[in-house]
Homo-oligomer: A and B are copies of this chain.
Amino acid sequence: MTQAIPATLADIQAPVRARLDEVRSELRRIVEADFGLIAEVNAHLLQMQGKMLRPTLLLLADEATGAPDPRAATLGAVVELIHLATLVHDDSVDHSVRRRGMPTINALFSHQVSVIMGDYLYSRAVIELVRLADLEPLRILGRVTNEMTVGEMRQLLAHDRLAFSEEQYDLLIMAKTASLLSGACETGAIRAPGEQRQAMREFGLRLGMAFQIVDDLLDYTGDATITGKPVGADLREHKVTLPLIHALPKLSASQRREVSALMDTETPTDAQIAAVVEAVTEAGGLDYARERAAALSTGAEAALELLAPSPAREALRASIPFVLDRRS
């Protein structure tokens, strides 16, 4: 299913390149503030802009499901803004100091500024959606934002919990990650016939779940010089993810004791982490996670069959191996 040469982000964004520039200027317009401190934080946030994956998916969904919606760039900016607000609060919750190779808002300013700034960005997103005078995007994105908060709560409870089940993990990654990708795709298809809108929603949900599984896999297998974070960072924070969940019942008694010891150690050593990574790998935890990501990808691809062929649809298809084969 994956192509011989996976598409680059630039390939995927090609059909909507001009409109992505519009998303960037809409984003600047929407967050603009005349209050000094907020303007400063905004400038920092706009500098650390990432891949714009969510607006890209929204614009591609828009193009792949019918006549381009003139509001799509604004909607893409709002979706990216909600993503940014979430990152700012996440970093505050996790006390993270770096994100995308740059200091986080809580590191550069303060914890207080992070909490308030997340609220600022989110309320700006709501104001912008009200300005568009259409309840439908508000309905989708209100629900998504709420799901993400539930996902964050689930994440808090997924620490130190060796009883954490695969079903709970699925609920967690749906809420935390897949929800907004799915919402972005659905928002792009907001004027499309019901079954196309539903297809885009499902495409985004599966792509988003695969995205998070790959993210969790990279914690076991990634190259720290590419991912920007050391291997085993999740384990170090006692975060239980799919590879470990799957491996756990297959481990020997002594391996299980090693896992428990790591969870009971405030700051696990590199040797402790390496031993657990090895045990999880041997027990097939990584292979299993890869299989699940691949199965979700197949599901995402199947959802695209409902759309008529178009360059935008092919770019959506190409986003699947892009997510699956990424190294960071």
Contacts of A119 in B (CB 8 A): 89, 118, 122, 145, 148-149, 152
User: Which segment, of A136-144, A214-222, A290-298, faces chain B?
Assistant: A136-144
A93–B111 Cα gap in the complex (Å)? 7
A151 to chain B, nearest CB (A): 9
Segment from A127-135, A245-253, A265-273 that makes contact with B: A127-135
A110 — which chain B residues lie within 8 A by C-beta? 156
Contact of A138 among B115, B116, B130 (CB under 8 A): B130
Residues of chain B lying within 8 A (CB to CB) of residue A146:
120, 123-124, 126-127
> Taking the complex as formed, is A112 at the interface, i.e. its CB lies under 8 A from any CB of chain B?
yes
Q: Is A98 part of the binding interface, using a Cβ–Cβ cutoff of 8 Å?
A: no
Pick the residue among B35, B116, B145 that contacts A126 (CB under 8 A).
B145
Q: Does A233 contact B (CB under 8 A)?
A: no
Contact B145 A123 (CB under 8 A): yes
Do the beta carbons of A116 and B156 come within 8 Å of each other? yes
Most buried by B among A33, A111, A153: A153
CB A83 to nearest CB in B, in angstroms, measures: 14
What is the CA–CA distance of A113 and B156 in the complex, to the nearest angstrom? Answer: 8
The reply to whether the CB of A319 lies closer than 8 angstroms to some CB of chain B is no
Q: Does A154 contact B (CB under 8 A)?
A: yes
A150 within 8 A of B: yes
A261 within 8 A of B: no
Q: How far is the CA of A188 from the CA of B77 in the complex (A)?
A: 32
> Please, how many angstroms separate the alpha-carbon atoms of A169 and B123 in the complex?
23
Any B CB within 8 A of the CB of A92: yes
15 more A-B residue pairs beyond the given contacts A93-B111, A116-B156, A130-B142, with a C-beta to C-beta distance below 8 A: A35-B154, A37-B156, A89-B116, A89-B119, A92-B115, A112-B156, A113-B156, A115-B115, A115-B118, A119-B152, A120-B150, A120-B153, A126-B145, A130-B135, A130-B139
